[in-house]
Structure 1
Amino acid sequence: MRAVTSWLSRIWRADALSAFGLAALLLLIFLGIFGPWLPLGDPTQIAAGPRLGPPTLQHPFGTDELGRSFLPRVVQGIRATFLLSAVAVLISAVIGTLLGMAAGYFGRAVDIVVARGADILFAFPAILVGLLVAAVLGPGQVSAIAVIAIATLPLLIRVVRSVTLSVAGRGFVTAAEVAGVSALRILLLHILPNVMGAVMVQLTYALSIGMIIESALSFLGLGVQPPEASLGSLLRQGSAYLTIAPWMVLSSGAVLSLAIMSVNLVGDAVRDALEPLKGRALT
């Protein structure tokens, strides 16, 4: 815990962009978690204000076509977008780490099967996968999680496989093999700790990709379904009233852009902390 606190304080002092990204990300996460208990209003209350009303002190983000306050709906959208993306990325991280380590360590047939499978998944656009999954499972949150996991899985497999290939040839792995240590123990105790840094960096970028995919799916009506809201579904809702109520698109679009930017900035900070010689401070 002390190491994490020291790392966060070092980021805050040394890199203004990363500090801004971290602050913005923490704010969005706070709103997403505690939004239902904050005095922002009910996101489902109809006629809370005038239909398509402009931003006011009572409704800072205006109201939608049903008179619902748009601010609590944006906060609800933050929670849905972050939660779905995080769950999907964690699933792909676990599967991708295991498959990537197996491909890099065992090689030969395992490497060929895993690498070619990742290439096949990588060849399909996320929207096409979303259409196929929605046709099988139906539109909704489960479909969105499945599509994000499928889209981010080959990226994680490639990264973990590459790092595993470099670690598997080192002396401490060879010594463990000579000593008769089982392959499972070598993967868990010797290789996994050495690939976790790369996994953590890739997780942050995969999260931003996941939010983009989730928003695109919800915008097309394949993700979060009404009356629940995500940032993508709010963009779709606001696009129908762009000329008369632009604040609906501007507010949800600005929050989505801020979320993606903050995750990428924090990802840069994580990369710089793990690979200081490649960081922005020395370039």
Structure 2
Amino acid sequence: MTEPIDTTASRRSARERPFPLRLPFRSDGLASMGAILLGLFVLIAVFGHWLPIGDPEAIDVGARLTRPSGGFLAGTDALGRSELPRLVQGIRTTLLVAGTSVLITVAISTMLGVLAAYFRGVVGEVIIRIADVLFSFPALLLAILLIAIVGPGQKGVVISIALICCPLMIRVVRAAALGVVNRDFIVAARVGGANHVRIIFVHVLPSIAGAAVVQGTYALCVGMLAESGLSFLGLGLQPPAASLGSLVNEGSQYLPVAPWLVLIPGVLLALIIMSVNLVGDGLRDMLDVRGAEVRR
């Protein structure tokens, strides 16, 4: 005789454990490596100024263009300034500028993309057409044009990066939201009398958060490359502020005699971007963004 199954206990257990516990990147070695490397750079950016590495603006004329050695671990520049504290400052500036730009990009693009998918018709068409027009411009040319209007400096760089990252992210978020706005739980919310604001913030946004986060990591890479490119052209942060891009720009004038002034900040920038890419790939797999899009 078959024994009865305690369905009450099963339902209670399911409520207490709605999904299996998974550690981030537990089975993804590359993503774990990227997360560790990125975390290390963030720690350097946050706490680097407390390290006993000297003043980034201290000048030692007698040590101009000194090779990396025990006294100067990353060498010195043309003015005799130690490169190590300037590299720490450059990492902090690059992450801060790119991170601020991405936060602005994610906030604006996510909302506009959801609105374009939810309110079809005139509102959606206007948003997506503006995004298409901005997306048709070369990114660097658009950034240079905006900086020519706003002026060089941190404010102009942040606005420029946000402007060049927004169009693609609007399209990605809109595509993800289009697969959500007509699902059964959205229709049920409308029938139940929920207003547009509640449906968007309570139902739609949480459903496309994974796609927005993954796209945000891509925007962070673009932001760091854009900031470095603008600083390399002399349109980014102005002295005495230093970023990895401006350090490469300054060192390029002495490349034949002091290649470390270009190689070290260039390698650091490549490592940061690589770590963000690895974390983004891990987040995509962990959040199952592609699988979620297929299921919709």
TMscore range, shorter length? over 0.9
Name the CA shift for 1:91/1:277 in 2 (closer, same or farther; >3 Å).
closer
> What is the letter of the counterpart of residue 183 of structure 2?
R
**Structure 1 residue 16 displacement after superposition:** 2.1
Contact 1:18 1:265 in 2 (8 A): yes
1:100 corresponds in structure 2 to 113
1:271 corresponds in structure 2 to 284
Give the one of 43, 49, 58 matched to 1:30: 43
Give the one of 112, 130, 135 matched to 1:122: 135
User: Structure 2: how far apart are the matches of 1:51 and 1:179?
Assistant: 73
1:188 corresponds in structure 2 to 201
Output one character per residue of 1:64-103: Cα deviation in whole Å (capped at 9) or x when no partner: 0000000111110001110000101110111111110100
1:90 corresponds in structure 2 to 103
Give the one of 185, 188, 195 matched to 1:175: 188
**Structure 1 residue 160 displacement after superposition:** 1.1
**Percent of counterpart pairs with the same letter?**
50
User: Structure 2: how far apart are the matches of 1:30 and 1:125?
Assistant: 34
User: Structure 2: how far apart are the matches of 1:177 and 1:233?
Assistant: 52
Tell me, which stretches of 5 or more residues in structure 2 are unaligned?
1-18, 292-296
SS at match of 2:236: coil
CA-based RMSD of the aligned residues comes to 1.6
1:227 corresponds in structure 2 to 240
1:255 is the counterpart of 2:268: yes
Name the CA shift for 1:80/1:111 in 2 (closer, same or farther; >3 Å).
same
1:75 corresponds in structure 2 to 88
SS at match of 2:85: helix
1:209 corresponds in structure 2 to 222
Contact 1:105 1:164 in 2 (8 A): yes
Give the one of 194, 199, 203 matched to 2:212: 199
> What is the letter of the counterpart of residue 48 of structure 2?
G
1:109 corresponds in structure 2 to 122
Output one character per residue of 1:105-145: Cα deviation in whole Å (capped at 9) or x when no partner: 11111111011111111112222122222221211001110
Normalization by structure 1: what TM-score? 0.93
User: Structure 2: how far apart are the matches of 1:128 and 1:63?
Assistant: 33
User: Structure 2: how far apart are the matches of 1:19 and 1:270?
Assistant: 11
Please identify which structure carries the higher helix content. 1
Give the one of 120, 137, 140 matched to 2:150: 137
Contact 2:113 2:173 in 1 (8 A): yes
Q: Which moved more, 1:229-238 or 1:44-53?
A: 44-53
User: Structure 2: how far apart are the matches of 1:78 and 1:208?
Assistant: 14
Contact 2:143 2:164 in 1 (8 A): no
1:281 corresponds in structure 2 to none
Aligned length: 272
**Structure 1 residue 170 displacement after superposition:** 0.4
SS at match of 1:168: coil
Contact 2:68 2:75 in 1 (8 A): yes
> What is the letter of the counterpart of residue 247 of structure 1?
W
Give the one of 50, 55, 69 matched to 2:68: 55
2:23 corresponds in structure 1 to 7
User: Structure 2: how far apart are the matches of 1:48 and 1:19?
Assistant: 43
Contact 1:49 1:68 in 2 (8 A): no
Contact 2:210 2:289 in 1 (8 A): no
User: Structure 2: how far apart are the matches of 1:115 and 1:254?
Assistant: 37
1:66 corresponds in structure 2 to 79
Tell me, which stretches of 5 or more residues in structure 1 are unaligned?
279-283
